Amino acid sequence: MTEKLRLAIVGAGPAGIYAADILLKAEKHFDVSIDLFEQLPAPYGLVRYGVAPDHPRIKGIITALRDVLDSGHIRLFGNVYFGRDITLADLKKHYNAVIFSTGAIRDAPLTIPGIDLPTSYGAADFVSWYDGHPDFPREWPLDAESVAVIGNGNVALDVARMLAKHAEDLLPTEIPANVYSGLASSSVTDVHVFGRRGPAQVKFSPLELREMGELRDVDMIVYDEDFDYDEASKSAIATNKQVMVIDRVLSTWRAREVGTASRRLHLHFYANPVSYDGSVFRYERTAPDGEGGVRGTGEMREIPAQALYRAVGYFGSPLDGIPFDDKRGVIPNREGQVLDDNDEPVHGVYATGWIKRGPVGLIGHTKSDAMETVKHVLNGQANWWSPEHPEEEAIVALLASRGLEFTDLSGWHNLDEHELALGAPEGRTRVKVVDRDEMVTISNRK
């Protein structure tokens, strides 16, 4: 048995919790003491605040994450901001190492004229609103009748579905009251989703795409001109089961009769964004280039759009005192070992999840990602810090001395039970509490 490892993990989403779980399972070699720090009063990160409320299957991941937190070997410090409430210098005084698993919650940039207009929105902000993130406004403008969504991934599908779906069909979910009210008063009749490439190159998961076609009173509209496949697309459909299923789903939509629903969801492929002026979205028609990509055709098209949502990916945020790659939106690293400006490992500092590799892969992929990082944490004993105050109560005393009203694991249980109780009378799984101060108050009730 080597010396005890006091480890801090900043970010209590799936990536951070998976890393903690893997570390705990390595206890036969290391005596590990783990503290999770989370800027929100509640844990679970992306699963709680990045997954649409009508996806309960994905939220089932929370069950596995809860088992890890409730193992009795991890402490949670919620409502604590790294860089404001605690610093890297603080962590060095109390821990041997830190893993950053802060994810990516900003929208990746998209540079076209009009992207900064007031009616142009980031998908990440919209997702945070409808998921009841406490740090986002309670109201969202939904007075546009025709909306453009740029992106061909699952986030674009989530945004489009939430805009097109009738609010009453979301009532069985954990949707917060303010979000239901906003969606119920929405003026949206048409949602247009745009992707640069063709149907065989989309990043949708087949299940999410199939669910789109099950929306009540929503016509799914695709355009025959987008299905004149080139050889690369035909090959992808023939050799890739996921692409084959996507093509099958889209083919069924092509055969449907449309025109009876009160709302319409249009999928436009081979469409490269050009500009947005607040009332019209312009795009250039593209075509296959014969090598799996696309080329511009010079043909310009436009549709009416009083709102634009960009769902072209998430982007990480810099952390105080930690190296950051402004172009990729990640912490520069080598297999989770954080690197300085000279590409040398920073002692005691590691990264996992989207802040490590960028916003790619599904939630489950963060587990293998965490294994890679943890391997280097455990093998890097020579690079560990030598904390002045490694005692477990020392960090509690520090937070208390700064007057921080932090939440802990028992507090999360309080909030969890409260939300479940709010949903029970209506036959719902839960009703999410949105206000940060209210979350903290409920969590810290004795």
For the chain, the average pLDDT equals 93
What was the pLDDT predicted at 2?
Answer: 47
**419 in a domain, yes or no?**
no
What was the pLDDT predicted at 1?
Answer: 37
Q: Are residues 221 and 246 in the same domain?
A: yes
CATH of the domain at 360: 3.40.50.720
Q: How many residues comprise the chain?
A: 446
**368 in a domain, yes or no?**
yes
What was the pLDDT predicted at 129?
Answer: 96
Strand 218-221 relative to strand 263-268, pairing: parallel
Q: Are residues 256 and 338 in the same domain?
A: no
Number of domains forming the structure of the chain: 2
For the entire predicted model, the pTM comes to: 0.92
Q: Are residues 27 and 162 in the same domain?
A: no
Give the contacts of 258 (CB within 8 A, at least 6 positions apart): 219, 220, 221, 264
**427 in a domain, yes or no?**
no
What is the distance of C-alpha 93 from the center of its chain? 32
3-state secondary structure of 371: helix
Q: In which residue ranges of the chain is pLDDT below 70?
A: 1-3, 27-30, 59, 361-364
User: What would the pLDDT profile of 4-29 be if each residue is shown by its tens digit?
Assistant: 789 999 999 999 999 999 998 876 66
Q: Are residues 85 and 149 in the same domain?
A: no
Reading the block at residue 199, the tokens are 């149907």
**436 in a domain, yes or no?**
no
Q: Are residues 116 and 142 in the same domain?
A: yes
- Tokens 């312009």 correspond to 282
Beta-sheet strands, E only, within 71-114: 74-78, 97-100, 106-107
Range of the domain at 99: 5-105+316-406
**445 in a domain, yes or no?**
no
